Amino acid sequence: MIGAAIRKDVWLLLRDRGALISLFLLPIIFMIAFGSMFNNSSDGKPRPIAVWYAPGDQRGAAIAKTLDETPGFRTELAGSADVVRQRVATEEVGAGLVVPATGPIELSIDLGAPVQVRGPLQGALTSVVMRASSSIPIDKLPPMVEARTPPGLARPLAEITPFQVTVPGNAVLFGFFIALTVAMAFVGERKTGTWRRLLAAPVPRWKALLATLVPYYLVGLTQLAFLFGVGIGVFGMRIAGSIPALVVLSMSVVLCAVSLGLLFAAVARTEKQLGGIGSVVLLVMGMLGGCMFPRLMMPVFMKQLGLCVPHGWALDAYYSVLVREGTSLADIAPSIFAILGFAVVFAGAGIALFRFER
């Protein structure tokens, strides 16, 4: 009977263009949009920095040369100090350096930009100026700082593209939208009377519930497989950790989302309630969990708040599996247990509140 329910729901889904778009196409659009937003390196090309110095000024020439030699940056000489400031103001370049013959060097940068965006650039350019001002030639200077991952954290991939973050972010965000699809299915079955027909049939009530949940669990798994497949095949996303860990994690995430759908179905009576309140709840959960803005870049309080929703745990685990080499199932077990804990709470509340005979 559950097999027949799966076939029925798959047929219904294949004929529901709206559901197909929101489950499979929208996440891809969001992945591209967010991936482009976080792509600071402008497709791997060095970032242009406007520089002006008085003709013949040796300090200015040294700074321009050092900047050009620094990976990720490119010097763009400007005709005057005002041109540098103007190009920064019109966002043609992210920052500029005005090097007068004497006195302090001006770093032209929008101080209104968030410190998370401005800080790294400000730090890097300050370092360039310091190195250029050193009396010892750059190639003779020993490395002053060497970045290393501390013991306890697996080594990350050499080059992490924004898609390593935006693919799982959007997969989790849209993966949890299966909760709405599940709840809508229950509301629809009640509305059309097919639920009444199901209850009149010689089918245990738990089986009637499973017959609605299992097909969407499989649809949810297919959705995540598709999104990660596109992530790997189209966006070049890589899996640094173990594939079984990724599979178990994805199965837990979908289970949690379907359980949340049961809870939604238990408390919502109409499609309008689901479309309004349900969507907002899922978006807020996604936002807190770091689906739209990575938790890595959030302040400590927001980072902790993100762990109040399953999305936060899921994204932490996905980040480890996708970015940190050798991440195993055991490494992400705490996150998986947390997600399963959420699933138990959602399913428990859903079963307690679900009314078969509404």
If the CB atoms of residues 146 and 357 are measured against other proteins, the closer one turns out to be 357
Q: Is 198 in the site for other proteins (CB under 8 A)?
A: yes
- Per CB under 8 A, the list member of 55, 193, 233, 299 interacting with other proteins is 193
Cα(122)–Cα(124) distance, integer angstroms: 6
Question: Segment contacting other proteins (CB under 8 A): 173-181, 196-204, 278-286, 322-330?
Answer: 196-204
Task: In whole angstroms, give the CA distance from residue 181 to residue 37.
Answer: 29
Q: In what order do the strands lie in the sheet with 47-53?
A: 73-77, 47-53, 96-99, 106-108
The DSSP line for 218-263 is HHHHHHHHHHHHHHHHTT-----S-HHHHHHHHHHHHHHHHHHHHH
Q: Which is nearer to other proteins, 143 or 193 (CB)?
A: 193
Report if residue 197 touches other proteins, rule: CB under 8 A: yes
| Interaction of residue 270 with other proteins, rule CB under 8 A | no
By CB under 8 A, residue 17 contacts other proteins = no
- Comparing C-alpha atoms, which of 59, 139, 66, 135 is closest to residue 100? 59
Tell me phi and psi for residue 91, to 5 degrees: 60, 25
**Residue closer to other proteins (CB basis): 211 or 227:** 211
- 21 vs 33, beta carbon nearer other proteins: 21
Asked if 74 touches other proteins (CB under 8 A), the answer is no
Q: Is 337 in the site for other proteins (CB under 8 A)?
A: no
> Is there binding between residue 12 and other proteins (CB under 8 A)?
yes
Q: Tell whether residue 269 is a contact of other proteins (CB under 8 A).
A: no
Indicate the length of the chain as a whole number.
358
Identity of residue 333: A
> By CB under 8 A, is residue 4 in contact with other proteins?
yes
**296 to 335, contacts with other proteins by CB under 8 A?**
none
Q: How far apart are CA 355 and CA 347, in angstroms?
A: 14
- Our CB check for other proteins shows the closer of 15 and 140 to be 15
Residues at the contact surface with other proteins, assessed by CB under 8 A: 1, 3-5, 7-8, 11-12, 15-16, 191-194, 196-204, 357
